[in-house]
Amino acid sequence: MNFSKHANQKKIQKLNSRYTKIMKLMGTSSIRVLFFSLILVAVLGISGGIGVAKAILDASPELDYDSLVPVGYTSFVRNQDGVILQELSTGDANRIYVEIDEIPKHVQDAFIVIEDERFYEHNGIDMRGIFRAIFVNLKSGDLSEGASTITQQVIKNNVLSSVKSFERKIQEQYLAIQVEKILDKDKILELYLNTAGLGRGTNGVQAAAGRYFNKDVSELTIAEAAVIAGITQRPSDYDPVTNPENNRNRQLIILQYLLNQDKISNDDYLEAKAEKVYDKIQITNQEFETKSDYSYFVDEVIRRVASDLEVQKGYTATQAINLIYRGGLDIYITQDLRLQNILDASFADENNFPTIQDDYNVKLMYTASIQTDAGIIHHYEEKLLQSDEAAHEHIEILKNEWVGETDSLISDNALFIPQPQAAMVVMDYHTGQVKAITGGRGQKIGNQVLNRATMSKRQPGSTFKILAAYLPALDTMGLTLAKVYDDVPYTIQIPGAGSYSPKNWYDHAAYNYWGLSTIREGIQWSMNLLAVKTMNEIGIQTGFDYLKNLGFTTLVERRDVNGTIFSDKNIVLPLGGLTDGVTLLELTNAYGAIANNGIYIEPSFYTKVLAHDGSLLLLKEPFTQTVMKETTAFLLTNAMEDVVKAGTGTAVRFNNMSIAGKTGTTSDSKDLAFIGYTPYYVAGVWLGHDDPERMSHNKRYHTLIWRDVMSKIHEDLDNKSFQRPEGIVQATICTESGKLAVDGLCTHDPRGSTARTEYFAAGTAPTETCDVHVKITICKDSGLLPTVYCPTDSLVQRVYTARTEPLDPASWDPARPPRIRDYVYELPSTIENEYCNIHTHVEPTPQPLPNTIPTQPLEYP
Answer whether residue 145 shows pLDDT above 60.
no
Q: What is the pLDDT of residue 526?
A: 94
Pairing state of beta strands 599-601 and 624-626?
antiparallel
Cis peptide before 420 (omega within 30 of 0): yes
Answer whether residue 562 shows pLDDT above 80.
no
Answer whether residue 424 shows pLDDT above 70.
yes
Higher per-residue confidence, 614 vs 392: 614
Q: How far apart are CA 780 and CA 34, in angstroms?
A: 96
Q: How far apart are CA 186 and CA 628, in angstroms?
A: 61
Q: How far apart are CA 188 and CA 182, in angstroms?
A: 10
Is the Cβ–Cβ distance between 780 and 794 less than 8 Å?
yes
SS3 for 476-524 is CCCCCCCCEEEECCCCEEECCCEEECCCCCCCCCCCCECEEEEHHHHHH
Could you read off the pLDDT of 372-402 as tens digits, one per residue? 776 665 655 556 666 667 777 888 888 888 8
Q: What is the pTM of this model?
A: 0.74
Answer whether residue 645 shows pLDDT above 90.
yes
47-61, 296-310, 319-333 — which one is most confidently predicted on average?
A: 296-310
Average pLDDT over residues 577-600: 96
The helix/strand/coil state of 569 is: coil
Higher per-residue confidence, 23 vs 766: 766
Answer whether residue 13 shows pLDDT above 60.
no
Torsion of CA 729, 734, 737, 740, to 10 degrees: -50
pLDDT band at 404 (very low <50, low <70, confident <90, very high): confident
Q: What is the pLDDT of residue 14?
A: 45
Pairing state of beta strands 559-561 and 492-494?
unpaired
Answer whether residue 743 shows pLDDT above 80.
yes
Task: Give the closest residue to 228 by CA, choosing from 218, 214, 239, 219.
Answer: 239
Pairing state of beta strands 330-333 and 75-78?
parallel
Q: What is the pLDDT of residue 29?
A: 41
Q: How far apart are CA 397 and CA 767, in angstroms?
A: 75
Q: How far apart are CA 652 and CA 702, in angstroms?
A: 9
Q: How far apart are CA 795 and CA 779, in angstroms?
A: 5
Average pLDDT over residues 68-89: 79
Average pLDDT over residues 513-537: 94
Q: What is residue 60's DSSP assignment?
A: S
Backbone torsions φ then ψ of 595, nearest 5 degrees: -60, -30
pLDDT band at 298 (very low <50, low <70, confident <90, very high): very high
Q: What is the pLDDT of residue 200?
A: 76
Q: What is the pLDDT of residue 30?
A: 41
Q: What is the pLDDT of residue 122?
A: 85
